[in-house]
Amino acid sequence: MKISIKNLLMGTMAAAAMASCAADGTLPVPETVLEECVYMGDRTEFAVWAPDAEAAQLRLYHSADEDEAAFKTVNMKLGKDGLWKAVVKDDVKGALYSFQVKKDGAWLEETAGIAAKAVGVNGMRGAVVDWDETDPEGWDEDRSPEIRPSDIIVYEMHHRDFSIHPSSGISNKGKYLALTEEGTKNPDGLATGIDHLKELGVTYVQLLPSTDFATIDETRLEDNQYNWGYEPLNYNAVEGSFSTDPYNPTTRIREFKQMVQALHKAGFRVILDVVYNHTTNAANTGFERTMPGYFYRMREDGTFFNGSGCGNETASEQEMFRKYMIESLEWWMKEYHIDGFRFDLMAIHDIDTMNEISERLHAIDPAVVIYGEGWAAESPAYPAEQIALKANTYMLDKVGAFSDNIRDAVRGPLGCENAGFMDGVAGNKENVEFGIVGGIEHPQVTVEAWADNPLQHVSYVSCHDDHCLRDRLEEAAKATEKQRLRMVKLAQTAVYTSQGIPFIFNGEELYRHKQGVKNSYNQPDAINAIDWTYKTKYSDLVKYYSELAAIRHAHPGFCLGDPDLVREKLQFIDVDDPCIVAFRISGLEGIDTAKSLTVVLNGSKKHRKIAIPEGRYIVLAENGVADVDGIGAYTGDYCAVAATSATILAEM
């Protein structure tokens, strides 16, 4: 019987693939960091993880044009670590590459791999770059500013929302470089852009997804496409649509770094919104084109579980995907100097993975901030007691969660027809108090605790999801604009005086709206863009936000950072009104310049006087006005608070 060379070779490859798997069927996981493309000048090393594949090839291209033929094809060799490897002994800087893997006798679609760090336009091919050329001038000296935990205030931002409007005064509208421009102003001469953030007093900028996603055609940016970016394609690469040249892989990387560098120089730390819980259409990803079914939770019939509500859910419990997530996050910290991460639908990930992530990232930067959404869109295909649900936050180490407790209490639950505590609706007091203590166990709080430390509690009333605060009020509160603005100030006073981490949505300080659209993820700029003329129109509101931040920075008693200290020093004042929350933080000697801090949040429609210990006080906020230096002095034994407003007193 004749055996062709081709058949002999195929048999050898299949045997090698089987040899790479352990006797018990488990797959080998590389001990070293997964590097799919390493450029070294006169040679470049490539690798792709596909331990059960029969064969693998590397292809090199001059462009991202899918009709272009490869100028070089290299057969790859399988190692014991499950990696297929190839070395190209030429200088191929600037080339694009793809891998193609053979399974069950058939070649799968080409892919940039699972860990491409640089990509061509639209991200379907990886890019060979010299990483030294991606660094802006002074990048080696870039350092994250030191920010005390008590000074953390997060500002959530979408690149286009923040800078695209004609009134922004920004040249690089909708781009990473928008955040590098200083001196930008609205038509009335008021600061916009990064200078506005300085005035506002926030300290962390959280960027909506900026890793390469699939929902924008980067070859048609003139069409002004919009998307939030929650359809990830390449987790380790920078999104091209926010760069000035998505065709140039080096440009997008350098401009992203310039943005981070400028934010650091201006005094901000940078948080990246990451979406490891699901991908874009699985068939288009490197995961399915190298190891079908491995990286996702699958049903027995081969279909995808869908805890994300987006068509699939990833499997963090799989050893290689856990390793992948950790190394990806480390990459963003080390290469891009990222200071924190917000995890989309964090409850899809298992607790062990999140804790290992926290341990590894805190080893790089002890000040790294990590938090996420403690829920999923649908029930994940993993035991509830083992996933990072909000209810399990106490089991997470230095990982926080968004508090829908305080959000729903203050503004009314999502879809509800009332605007909650800020509009004088009873039944919300307990959850407002829960938010004030930072989600921990407290002897005066009846809501079951889910945080072990108050810094695990992200306090907010508005984010990119659902209605922004203005649209929520216009839908649910039967009130005049003047009354609604009072409600906004009241709501944010609760957020800024919470023991948790204050979090605000970009433009809400300008009383922005989205024309009533709840889910504006793919709506045009006409819906999503921030109109910077609102800074002039609502200057009083902007000032209130700024002063709240200044008050929090000046008084670390609002962020004690320790659950025992919160239980010891924060006491609620008994007020027989379901729409008033009053509390006092006392014994602050050595912690704060004030002896005590008193806050009364009055959601009711009536002016009230609340009994407090007699003392000499500075009034920091009263009747919709706030000033860190004080509105005036007061000596007495009660705290006066106007309807739909807050009063803050500092005892000196």
Q: Which residues are catalytic?
A: 344, 373
Rounded Cα gap, residues 601 and 494, in angstroms: 7
Cα(579)–Cα(72) distance, integer angstroms: 71
Whole-angstrom distance, CA of residue 426 vs CA of residue 68: 65
Taking Cα atoms as reference points, which of 548, 547, 488 lies closest to residue 513?
A: 488
Give the Cα separation of 73 and 60 in Å (integer).
6
- The one-letter amino acid code at 4 reads S
Q: Are 101 and 53 in contact (CB under 8 A)?
A: yes
Q: How far apart are CA 596 and CA 614, in angstroms?
A: 12
Other CB atoms within 10 Å distance of the CB of residue 261 = 23
In the beta sheet, which residues pair with residue 132? none
Rounded CA-CA distance 287/290 in Å is: 6
What DSSP character marks residue 303? P
Q: Are 261 and 142 in contact (CB under 8 A)?
A: yes
The answer to whether the CB of 515 falls within 8 A of the CB of 528 is no
- Measure Cα distances from 282 to 303, 306, 600 in Å: 11, 12, 51
Q: Which residue has the tokens 């290299």?
A: 74
Residue 145 CA from chain centroid, whole number: 19
Longest Cα separation, the chain: 105
> Could you tell me which residues come within 8 angstroms of residue 426 by beta carbon, excluding any fewer than 6 positions away?
578, 579
With b meaning 16 or more CB within 10 Å and e meaning fewer, what string describes 314-323? bbbebebbbb
Dihedral (Cα; 467, 470, 475, 479), 10-degree rounding: 160
Q: Secondary structure of 12-68 in the HEC alphabet?
A: HHHHHHHHCCCCCCCCCCCCCCCCCEEECCCCEEEEEECCCCCEEEEEEECCCCCCC
Distance, in Å, from the CA atom of 542 to the CA atom of 551, rounded to the nearest integer, reads 14
CB 139 within 8 A of CB 261: yes
Distance CA 346, CA 521 (A): 19
Q: In what order do the strands lie in the sheet with 83-88?
A: 37-39, 44-49, 83-88, 77-78
Size of the chain in residues: 652
Please, what is the Cα angle at 214 between 210 and 220, to 5 degrees? 95
